[in-house]
Amino acid sequence: MISMALKCIVDLGVPDAISKSPEQPVSLSNLAAAIPLHPSKNDALRRLMRPLTHAGFFTTTAVLAGGEEAEDHYSLTTAGKLLLRGDSVNTLLRDRLFLDATTMTLWGMLSAWYLYSADAVPFEAGHDGASFWECMEKDPAQKKAFYETMVGDSKLVAGVLVSECREVFDGVESLVDVGGGTGTMAVAIARAFPKLNCTVFDLPHVVAGNRGELYYRSYTAFCHDFLFFGDTCALLQWILHDWDDEGCLKILKCCREAVAGDEEKKKKKGKVIIVVLTPKINLT
């Protein structure tokens, strides 16, 4: 419900309307007037804002105006600002990508997948056995949406990585961003550390056409010839969650060999940097 409510307020342009309003916090009536809303839906908007306020995207203040009934006034929280259109670190595209009709259909098939399907993931069950990456290649609109979403994510993470975690790159001379998409992260690293040689490694159809500040390389399988790049550091950002344990082991072994495969490289202290979201685990 929260996800669908989020999609709806993003579709309606609510976060942008709050952000642009000269009135802060903005009243429900002014917010309703600032977005394309059917005149009968003001109270429905208030009900839509309630769970999202509870989820931490907005704060609400009830303001009494001239003896009238209190009216809710809204402002954006830090999480809410991530929903702004055009913000370099917005999650807008991702929310739409993961909540579009095609993706939502897959959720309806989840129990059938558990009961009857031999496919590794529900996505493949819903796409005649084709992998997510194969489908991206064949569907230019989805591909554009997905890789633009990755750009938004990467901008957010890259900003933190190069400012808060600079020491991670100590001693690193060359880096390959494994599954680096269209190169946002690698460009940010190359700009922050001009002496560091950066390469992006991704699928041919992703790498094609990207010939900006960096080298781009592609192979259809993760391990092919990857060992011979000669880089001292492999970066894996938002990669491992896409593969099962066996696939992850293959990729990680490949990275380890790539950065420490011969005596010369060992002296240079090869590194594998993994950026991944992990659940907080309380060990007892």
Asked if 99 contacts 4 with a C-beta cutoff of 8 angstroms, the reply is: yes
Stretch that binds ligand SAM, among 80-88, 106-114, 146-154, 252-260 (CB under 6 A): 146-154
Secondary structure of the chain: what % helix, strand, coil (to 5)? 50, 15, 35
Give 53-64 as a DSSP string. HHTTSEEEEEE-
- Residue among 100, 94, 46 nearest 70 (CA): 46
Does 153 bind ligand SAM (CB under 6 A)? Our answer is yes
In the bound state with ligand SAM, the residue whose beta carbon lies nearer, of 34 and 156, is 156
Does 154 bind ligand SAM (CB under 6 A)? Our answer is yes
CA distance 81 to 149: 16
Q: Any catalytic annotation for residue 38? A: no
Bridging pattern class, strands 26-27 and 71-76: antiparallel
Does 203 bind ligand SAM (CB under 6 A)? Our answer is yes
Tokens of 139: 């569907």
CA distance 230 to 197: 11
Does 124 bind ligand SAM (CB under 6 A)? Our answer is no
Does 270 bind ligand SAM (CB under 6 A)? Our answer is no
**Residue 188 CB, nearest distance to ligand SAM (Å)?**
11
Enumerate residues 232-261 that contact ligand SAM by CB under 6 A.
237-239, 242
For 208-243, b where at least 16 C-beta lie within 10 A, e where not — what string?
eebeeebbbbeeeebeeebeebbbbbbbbbbbbeee
**Residue 181 CB, nearest distance to ligand SAM (Å)?**
4
Beta strands across the sheet bearing 58-63: 26-27, 71-76, 58-63
- When computed from its CA atoms, the radius of gyration of the chain, rounded to whole angstroms, is 23
In the bound state with ligand SAM, the residue whose beta carbon lies nearer, of 63 and 221, is 221
Q: Which of 15, 80, 126, 180 binds ligand SAM (CB under 6 A)?
A: 180
**Residue 43 CB, nearest distance to ligand SAM (Å)?**
40
Does 179 bind ligand SAM (CB under 6 A)? Our answer is yes
**Residue 99 CB, nearest distance to ligand SAM (Å)?**
17
Among 73, 127, 205, 241, the one annotated catalytic: 241
CA distance 94 to 203: 21
CA distance 161 to 159: 6
In the bound state with ligand SAM, the residue whose beta carbon lies nearer, of 18 and 258, is 258
Does 152 bind ligand SAM (CB under 6 A)? Our answer is no
Q: Which residue is nearest to ligand SAM (CB)?
A: 179
In the bound state with ligand SAM, the residue whose beta carbon lies nearer, of 42 and 174, is 174
Active site residues: 241
> By the criterion CB under 6 A, which residues form the site for ligand SAM?
133, 150, 153-154, 179-181, 185, 201-203, 206, 220-222, 237-239, 242
